[in-house]
Amino acid sequence: MNDMLIKGATLVDGTGAPARTGDIAFRDGRITEIGGPIRSAARQTLNAEGALVAPAWVDIHTHYDGQATWDDAMEPSAGQGVGTAIMGNCGVGFAPVRPGGERELIELMEGVEDIPGSVLHEGMPWGAWHSLPEYLDFLSQRRWALDIGSMVTHGAVRLAVMGERGKRDEAANAQDLAQMADLVQEAVQAGAMGFSTSRIRGHRSIHGDPVPGTFAAEDEVLAFAQALRRAGRGVYQMIPSSTVGSAPMLGGERHSQLDELALMAKASRVSGRPVTFTLFQVDEWPALWRPARSSIPRSARDPQRSCSAWRLTTLSCASPATWRSASCPCPSAWQRCASQRSRRRSWPRRRLPTRSRGRWKTSSSTWR
Ligand SMILES: [Zn+2]
């Protein structure tokens, strides 16, 4: 006997096929029949006439990094039909965190995403992790109404390795680059979904400081691409300079949107991994999104269908190695990268190493 039968729904199966009216039956969390009319018995029957039934959204751009540590319901995303949420975007997140560095990560998130700092200070179990793998271990002990995945973030990595120099927009030296790339490789191999960075002036801490890494030179951007190549997995997420305009009030952006597209193409070639980025239509350049979009061959791009009506973000994706390859559009990349099964395999369920708390050392590097 089926556990549930949904009757008379408007079915949108996510393949691009036209919507159709039909029934769906479930048993043990799996679809057993679809189409109909289904006449087999079920413990519970729902009349869904007039309602849509569709696969859950994969929201590849969220900032649940703090909320995921204390909340199971993951609202409002779960209620909006999101089934998988990827957090750690825009270069801001909470691991790695150096001892005493919690406040600066909170102040970054508070400034960039307007999440109240008091909630993050009091709601998160600070001290339960230092490295990104330890953060993932902590998360793996929890359960939510939806699946989640986390990126490793440029801001956190730059602060962990370069400290105040990283905050002050100093160029990374060869040792910095090697240590930061090691942390990213280690994080992605431990289960992070990829690496994220923000390059716009508008993303700032509550004190007005840009996210560390905002002005990173090309060698730093590409060092992380090489880390993803070594890891052999992951997505490179970027908020390119000039995404929301030239920002004259903040001193002006340093790079044009089209220059940034060329940089992302290079990052994709160097990493051999997909790149996702945010593309807005802004008042200052109302038509620039067209050449920006068409600079990526149609076969290599795949816009994210928004899961929030108010979110006008379009995310496109470069295929690995070349903009022209059609071998790896975003959805399949995310299916591979973000499937719960592969994530659980790659998140080892080991206890948090209590001895490492306060020791400030990981297997791959010692941080300052
Ligand atoms: Zn963001």
**Tens digits of per-residue pLDDT, 265-306?**
999 999 999 999 888 888 899 898 888 888 887 777 776 654
**Tens digits of per-residue pLDDT, 4-32?**
999 999 998 878 889 999 999 999 989 99
Q: How far is the CA of 113 from the centre of ligand 1 (A)?
A: 7
Q: How far is the CA of 228 from the centre of ligand 1 (A)?
A: 20
Residue 291 to residues 43, 190, 257, Cα–Cα distance (Å): 54, 38, 10
Q: Order across the sheet with 314-318: list the strands.
A: 152-153, 194-198, 235-239, 275-279, 314-318
Q: How far is the CA of 336 from the centre of ligand 1 (A)?
A: 22
Q: How far is the CA of 63 from the centre of ligand 1 (A)?
A: 6
Instruction: Output Rg (C-alpha) for the chain, integer angstroms.
Output: 21
Mean pLDDT for the stretch of residues 128-154: 96
Mean pLDDT for the stretch of residues 112-128: 95
Quick check: do 2-53 and 57-346 share a fold? Answer: no
Instruction: Determine whether 17 is exposed, middle or buried from the number of CB atoms within 10 Å of its CB (0-12, 13-18, 19+).
Output: exposed
Query: What local confidence, expressed as pLDDT, does residue 325 receive?
Result: 22
Domain 57-346 listed as CATH 3.20.20.140: yes
Q: How far is the CA of 187 from the centre of ligand 1 (A)?
A: 19
Q: How far is the CA of 91 from the centre of ligand 1 (A)?
A: 8
**Tens digits of per-residue pLDDT, 82-111?**
999 999 999 999 999 999 999 999 999 999
pLDDT band at 255 (very low <50, low <70, confident <90, very high): very high
Q: How far is the CA of 61 from the centre of ligand 1 (A)?
A: 6
Q: How far is the CA of 310 from the centre of ligand 1 (A)?
A: 15
Q: How far is the CA of 80 from the centre of ligand 1 (A)?
A: 18
> CA 108: distance to chain centroid?
17
**Tens digits of per-residue pLDDT, 40-85?**
999 999 999 999 888 888 888 999 999 999 999 999 999 888 999 9
Query: What local confidence, expressed as pLDDT, does residue 305 receive?
Result: 52
Checking if the pLDDT of 216 tops 80, the result is yes
Would you kindly state where each structural domain of the chain is located, as residue ranges? Answer: 2-53, 57-346
Residue 257 to residues 13, 314, 322, Cα–Cα distance (Å): 35, 14, 19
pTM value > 0.85 = no
Q: What is the largest CA-CA distance in the chain?
A: 68
Task: Give the CATH number of domain 2-53; options: 3.40.50.150, 2.30.40.10, 3.90.470.10, 3.40.50.720.
Answer: 2.30.40.10
Mean pLDDT for the stretch of residues 246-272: 93
Q: How far is the CA of 89 from the centre of ligand 1 (A)?
A: 5
**Tens digits of per-residue pLDDT, 219-238?**
999 999 999 999 999 999 99
